[in-house]
Every structure is written in structure tokens, then in C-alpha cells.
Amino acid sequence: MSTTEEPRSTTADEDGSATGPASGSRESRRRRGPRPGAFLPYGMVLPAAVLELLIHIIPMVLGIYIAFTSLTQLTIRRWTTAPFVGLENFVRGLDPSGPLGSALFESLLRTALYTTLVVGLSWVLGMAAAVALNTKFRGRGVLRTLFLVPYALPVYVAAIIWAFMFNQRDGMINRLLVQDTGLLDDRPFWLIGENAFWVLVVVSVWRLWPFAFLMLLAALQSIPGDLYEAAVVMGLWTFNEFNIPFLLFGDTSPESARLISPLIYEHSFVNWNFGLGAAMSVLLLVALIIASIVYVRMVLPKGRDND
């Protein structure tokens, strides 16, 4: 007894294309609309996207707009009608013969020197500590915990403690150098004058070297980690450093320790020249973008080749 299975019938549309069960199911799904939960991923990303828009994108666009205006304390009440000056703020900031341009270039060079010293010394100390703690010995865990204290301590607490220690009259540093050891005859001023730059370097190295220690110790123990990216991240942190100078020196840093970020803050919120401060911020943003492009095109491929 033989049974024959009839072939499934297909129909042809007017344009000659064949339609069958598969195309029918697609049409039915299309009529029913999107499946349940299709918009859930977008809903979960939406709060982060809104916060990113409000915290970063909109302020950055407004900052670029303000850079082309003469927004000062006289026009801030109606900031939308502040006079439009075009590229005047950028010309004043980039003119090395003018007072503003010379201050900007000097602070830029000073920031580059500060970044080089802080990152270099931090990685030297981090390497020494990582090599020392890479071998097993009694008390290694205690030392590792102590080494991480500067990195775990809030930067505001650490900077205020260092400011007290470097106080000229009754700070611990001067007491140690003058009264206890007799290395110096007079109590020097550490937070003003030429010494302010080296105080800033010391505090920043003390703050950042545990980060280098963690990265290098991870590399020595064969834990996956990209040291090139870690070094760049530390460099960007250091180049944009604002908290430590502000907490050590206040609104106006000494000229010897005036980095680029405190300089922008000084022009914006001390001199009340928001347009000029915004122009300096845009110039700094452009410089960082160029440095990032150079890193991505030249340094990052070398780091990947070494993996």
C-alpha cells in the first residue's frame, strides 16, 4: 500500500514571485508588530544617554559657543545676548607676545614638564615596589596594603594634609628640616614662590605612584594588562590635574606652579572672563584630541603587537 504526499502548493503574486509558508509567516509577524521586549535594551540605555547629553555634550557645545563671545561678569546676567567677538579670544590666547598668550604657553610648557616628571617618577617608584613585592616573603600583604593607601585616600583629604605639612610656620616638613635635623637654618616657604612647583610634583607623585605599582605588579604576575594604555591614562590624568593645585594653593596658583587647568579656572572664575576661559578650554581640547590621535595611530599598534 503506497502513500503519496501531495506537494505543498505555492501561489504566485502578480509580479511573479512565489509565496509559501515562510513568506506567509513573515507577513504575519510584520502585521503583529515588534516582538515583546524589543525596545527594552533601548530603554535601559536611555538614562545613561540622557545623563551623558546633559553632563557632557550640552556643556561642551555651550562652552564652544561661549568661546566666541565676550561673556564677562557684566554680561553674564543675559549670557545669550553677550557680544559675539568671533576669533578674538583665540587670537588673544595664541598671541605669544601678549600677556595672555605668553601666560598660556608658559603654563602649557610647565604642565608638560610637570606631567613628564610625575608620570616618570611614579613609574620608577611603581616598578621598584612591584619588583620588591613580586617575591613571596612574610609581611608582603601588609606592605601591599600600605602602598595602596595614597591611591585609596580621597584626594581632598590628602592635599589638605600635605598643605598642613608644608606650612611655613608650624608644618612638619620645616620642623623636620630646621629643628630636628638642622639641615636648613631658616624655614622656607613651600606653597609660594619657586618651591611651589616641586611641592606640586611631590604631592602628585605620592598620589599616583600606587596606580603604576598596581599595573606593573599585575604585569609581573602575568595578569593581562595593557601598560601602554595605563601610562596614557595616567598622563591624561596628570595633564588635566586641577584638584591638587586648587587644594594646595587656592583660587590662584603661584606662577611657578600654574598649570593649564588652574590657569583656565583663574581666567573664568577669578577674573570673570568666561569667553577667554572657554577659548582656552577649546584649545586644550584640540591639543588633547591631537595627542589622542597620535597615540591611537602610533603607540597603540605597538602595544598590541607586543601582546
Tens digit of each residue's pLDDT (9 = 90 or more) over 64-74: 999 999 888 88
Q: What pLDDT is stored for residue 267 in this prediction?
A: 87
pLDDT for the residue numbered 299: 62
- Give the tens place of pLDDT for each residue, 137-172: 888 888 888 888 888 888 888 899 999 999 988 889
For the stretch 35-79, pLDDT in tens is 667 778 888 899 999 999 999 899 999 999 999 998 888 888 888
Residue 278 has pLDDT above 70, yes or no: yes
* Residue 244 to residue 63: CA distance in whole angstroms: 24
| pLDDT for the residue 198 | 93
Q: What is the per-residue DSSP string for the chain?
A: ----PPPPP-EE-TTS-EE-HHHHHHHHHHHH-SPTTTTHHHHHHHHHHHHHIIIIIHHHHHHHHHTTB--BTTTGGGGGGPPB-TTHHHHHHH-TTSHHHHHHHHHHHHHHHHHHHHHHHHHHHHHHHHHHHSS--TTHHHHHHHHTHHHHS-HHHHHHHHHHHT-TTT-HHHIIIIIIS---SS---SSSTTHHHHHHHHHHHHHHHHHHHHHHHHHHTT----HHHHHHHHHHHHHT--HHHHHHH-SS--GGG--HHHHHHIIIIIS-BHHHHHHHHHHHHHHHHHHHHHIIIIIHHHHHHT-
User: Distance (Å, rounded) from C-alpha 184 to C-alpha 120?
Assistant: 28
Nearest-angstrom CA–CA distance, 85 and 67:
9
Specify the pLDDT at position 31: 61
What are the cell numbers at 79? Answer: 549670557
- Phi, psi (5° rounding) for residue 122? -65, -40
Phi and psi at residue 57, in whole multiples of 5°?
A: -70, -55
* Grid cell of 73 as nine digits: 561678569
User: 121 — alpha (psi -120 to 50), left (phi > 0) or beta?
Assistant: alpha
What's the pLDDT score for residue 142?
87
Q: Which three cell numbers mark 284?
A: 586644550
Q: Where does residue 25 rank: exposed (0-12), middle (13-18), buried (19+ CB within 10 A)?
A: exposed
Candidates 47, 58, 96, 117; CA nearest to 259 is: 117
Q: Which amino acid is at 231?
A: A
Instruction: Please give the pLDDT value at position 53.
Output: 92
pLDDT tens by residue, 243-264:
888 888 888 888 888 888 888 8
- Domains plus CATH for the chain? 43-305 (1.10.3720.10)
Amino acid found at 100: L
Question: What is the pLDDT of the chain when averaged over all its residues?
Answer: 81
